[in-house]
Structure 1
Amino acid sequence: MLATFLVNIEVSIVGTSLVTIANSLHRFSETSWIVTGYLVTYTGFMIIWSKLSDIVGRKVVFITTMALFVIFSGGCGASQTMTQLIINRVFQGVGAAGTYSLAVVILFEMVPPSKYAAYSGASVAVVSAANALGPIVGGLINEDSSWRWVFLFIVPFGALAIGFMFIAFPAKRPNKNKESVSGVLNWTSLGRLDFIGAALLLLASILLVTALLEASIRFGWNAGGTIALLALSACSWVGFLVWERFVTRWQNPGPIFPWTSFSNTTMTFMVGVPFNALIVNLPQRFQALDDKTALCAGLWLLPYTVVSPV
């Protein structure tokens, strides 16, 4: 629960703090990369970490990803330039992907099916509290302290979560199918991981994001670079879908995007897109255009963060 809370509150805290960070590092045009770089790797590595935990065990992978999340959170707080911050955020997203996905998997493997409803409610409550408190916490940090504590506060709490996991969770716990994990990485076990799908997803996402973020700032929409990025991204998306269809139907080594996911994609898209757009864009507007403080921007965001779980 603590790991889930930290990963979810971090996104909304950073959204409220972007203007302060940009003013400190003097690179406002690149602030979108602070969020987008994180989300690209977060999305691309989530399934890979989950599949890897089926091979070497939940405990090892969770501690590894949580350690990455904590280390690069500290790196974000220590960054002296916008480029350093963006690079640390990218690797922070790699760790956050495994931390959140495995926290959810482990939660439902530890409880019997009869208690799924109760623990689902508790999990949703934790995420809701993180989303609601994040903008306010971010505003308070920027009001009374340095923006660096937006990232540094994760370090002690993340270390605490790693300690709890190290002490309390058994290393050889069976997975959800009651199969003992091998704990060994070899060519056979690695063949169960959809590396091609993950690479195509990351490539397609990065190319698309780069085109959309940089076209209006550096390249221009009619520039050859923008057109090339969009064309390559489109080819990568097509290749990703074709590959996932092939893997799901014929090989099934554990596709990163099972074809059956299309039955749930619409609702996920409708929830995810407005959530990230509002959490990131509204606080920037409140501060940059309406001349409000970071704390006020967080308070103005409360009607959305409180009601959105409902």
Structure 2
Amino acid sequence: MGLLVAVFVVQMESSIISTAVLDITNHLGGYEMSSWLFTAYLVTYCGLQMVWAKISDIVGRKPAVLASLFIFTLFSGLCGASHSLTQLIHFRWAQGIGGCGVFALVQLLFFELVPPQKWPAYISLVTGFIALSVIAGPLLGGAITLHGSWRWIFLLNAPVGALTILSLYAVFPRRLWNEPAANIAGRTSQQTLSLQSLRRVDACGSLLLLGSCVLSATGLQQAATGDQWNSPAVLGLLVCTAPLIALFFIWQWYVTTRQSIIEPVFPWRFCQSRIRVGMIINTYLVGTILSVCVVQIPQRFSTVYGLSPFVAATKLLSFGVFVPAGSSLAAGLMGKLRIPPCWVVLGGAILQITGLVLLSEMSDWRTINSSQYGFQILAGTGVGFVNAALTLLVPYAMEKRDLATGTSAVSQFRVLGGLIGISIVTSVSTPYVRGRLLSILSPQTALQVLERTESLGMLDEETKQRARKVFMEGFTVQLRVLIGFAVAQIPATLLMWTNKIAEPGAMKK
């Protein structure tokens, strides 16, 4: 329960502000920079998961979990005390460092705490909790902003985090018998262990990975806030990302194949198996769809239809509830009916494509068409199918020595998909919205609406309706981009295709 509460809180932080963004920016200003509230957290949340996994191999699971949860709790309190949007964004970066450690390690620990025959049931529980937290976030965020200050979105993490730290400190074993740190500690002295630990950390690979995430996300965010694509702030950063990615893979190949004492954060072995490569690509793609839908759906209902944050969050339920429901159904299909995971992933991709295509056809900005809830159910169920199947495949497709790194790699690329996905859709839709608003509003009024969307209420009825139509078109553009990500899951699934049922060692080649 302590682990589930911890992962629930840190994952919820990625979505809880989706319904509070307008309230935060109306108070602090800077609506055009609002996507940074998500991106700042997600950059470090996804950029360091494999690093935390490797640290836990070295120092032990318990110290790593407690340290990451402490960092998350501390900076959550500082986020709640922020006095400017820039300050809040910086604290979100630090908050994500702790959150990513919790997220990566909890999934790994369930593989080590329960026997293999119970993995489908427990992974269904964990993925269900993670999906539930994503959906509970907008609801809780909307309720808090409706009845109080947005600051409590962050401040409430402090007592919850502190109590969880105390409970895990009291009940979690000092060492798990099957964790790498236990075996190392039994063979070496503490001093020798400390020296070896420092030498084994892949600092270079970690910095290259984090740097590529930061540069790519920053470049796309600059495009979303108004910079031209060929400007140094956009094109320059994106161009600099390519050599960092290349250097990252070259370095991982070197430290993996040269028998270096350094333990790579992304072993080259992952790139030598088509199944593992297909898994990682699919994880990235489904992470994009999940994160963008969770952020976009409440914002669409709030901006286009003028609903309150809490009511807008309830419109996400038809998507959100069926993500964990889809995960549970997928676990049953693979566990009891023995359906190969690849068939489940393929079915999930088809459901996502169908749901997103139908959602993109919804263009009425005056009234809410109830059929879109059914389309959200299709997309949410598809996301749940793919998430559960890919998570369950990890201990079967990865070697035992790569269990920690493989688990964190899958979760990291899922979050990375959300990070880059949000940056991509906003970099495409925000300039689209800005350009069309300038055609119906004066530059000053358009800037005011983009800075604080509550300014829509000050427009006359005809102009307000035209502006809302523009925002609706912007969200439609985002959905069409998402359709491309969903379609890309088909070839990625074919790349990892096997009709074998998930059995230990059956799919390692």
The question of a shared fold, defined as TM-score above 0.5 by the shorter chain, is answered with yes
Q: Map of 1:11-160 to 2, 5 A cutoff? A: 11-160=14-163
Matched-pair contact (CA < 8 Å) for 2:79–2:88: yes
Query: What is residue 302 of structure 2 aligned with on the other side?
Result: 287
- 1:170 is displaced (CA, Å) by 2.3
SS class of match (1:191): helix
Higher relative contact order (CA 8 A, sep 6+): 1
SS class of match (2:14): helix
CA separation in 1, counterparts of 2:15 and 2:304? 19
Q: Please list every run of 5 or more consecutive structure 1 residues that lacks an aligned counterpart in the other structure.
A: none
CA separation in 2, counterparts of 1:83 and 1:206? 16
Query: What is residue 263 of structure 2 aligned with on the other side?
Result: 254
CA separation in 2, counterparts of 1:263 and 1:245? 19
Query: What is residue 229 of structure 2 aligned with on the other side?
Result: 221
- 1:212 is displaced (CA, Å) by 0.8
**Cα 1:125–1:230, aligned 2, differ >3 Å: closer, same or farther?**
closer
CA separation in 2, counterparts of 1:264 and 1:17? 33
- Decide which moves more: 209-218 or 295-304: 209-218
Please list the CA deviations of residues 117-143 of structure 1 after superposition, one character each: whole Å capped at 9, or x if unmatched: 332222122123212322211111111
- Decide which moves more: 122-131 or 85-94: 122-131
SS class of match (2:140): helix
Residue 298 (structure 1) aligned with residue 313 (structure 2): yes
Q: State the identity as a percent.
A: 36
CA separation in 2, counterparts of 1:18 and 1:197? 34
Runs ≥4 residues deviating over 6 A: none
- 1:256 is displaced (CA, Å) by 1.8
- Decide which moves more: 274-283 or 40-49: 274-283
Query: What is residue 219 of structure 2 aligned with on the other side?
Result: 211
CA separation in 2, counterparts of 1:128 and 1:208? 26
- 1:247 is displaced (CA, Å) by 2.7
Query: What is residue 204 of structure 2 aligned with on the other side?
Result: 196
CA separation in 2, counterparts of 1:121 and 1:224? 45
CA separation in 1, counterparts of 2:180 and 2:60? 13
TM-score between both structures, scaled by the size of structure 2: 0.58
- 1:274 is displaced (CA, Å) by 0.9
SS class of match (1:222): coil
- 1:178 is displaced (CA, Å) by 8.2
- 1:26 is displaced (CA, Å) by 0.8
Query: What is residue 308 of structure 1 aligned with on the other side?
Result: 323
- 1:181 is displaced (CA, Å) by 4.7
- Decide which moves more: 27-36 or 107-116: 107-116
CA separation in 2, counterparts of 1:202 and 1:290? 38
Query: What is residue 240 of structure 1 aligned with on the other side?
Result: 248
SS class of match (2:165): helix
CA separation in 1, counterparts of 2:225 and 2:278? 37
**Matched residues, number:** 310
SS class of match (2:79): helix
Picking from 164, 169, 183, the partner of 1:166 is 169
Residue type of the partner of 1:257? F
CA separation in 2, counterparts of 1:10 and 1:188? 35
CA separation in 2, counterparts of 1:282 and 1:72? 28
CA separation in 2, counterparts of 1:225 and 1:274? 26
Q: Please list every run of 5 or more consecutive structure 2 residues that lacks an aligned counterpart in the other structure.
A: 271-275, 327-509
- 1:145 is displaced (CA, Å) by 1.1
Picking from 255, 269, 278, the partner of 2:293 is 278
Name which one, 1 or 2, has greater alpha-carbon Rg: 2
- 1:96 is displaced (CA, Å) by 0.4
Matched-pair contact (CA < 8 Å) for 2:135–2:294: no
CA separation in 1, counterparts of 2:8 and 2:85? 26
**Cα 1:121–1:216, aligned 2, differ >3 Å: closer, same or farther?**
closer
SS class of match (1:62): helix
CA separation in 2, counterparts of 1:178 and 1:40? 28
Matched-pair contact (CA < 8 Å) for 1:197–1:240: yes
Matched-pair contact (CA < 8 Å) for 2:60–2:179: no
Query: What is residue 263 of structure 1 aligned with on the other side?
Result: 278
SS class of match (2:20): helix
CA separation in 2, counterparts of 1:216 and 1:120? 37
Please list the CA deviations of residues 134-191 of structure 1 after superposition, one character each: whole Å capped at 9, or x if unmatched: 2211111111111111111111111111011110112233343584353666443223
CA separation in 1, counterparts of 2:233 and 2:310? 39
Matched-pair contact (CA < 8 Å) for 2:61–2:179: no
TM-score between both structures, scaled by the size of structure 1: 0.93
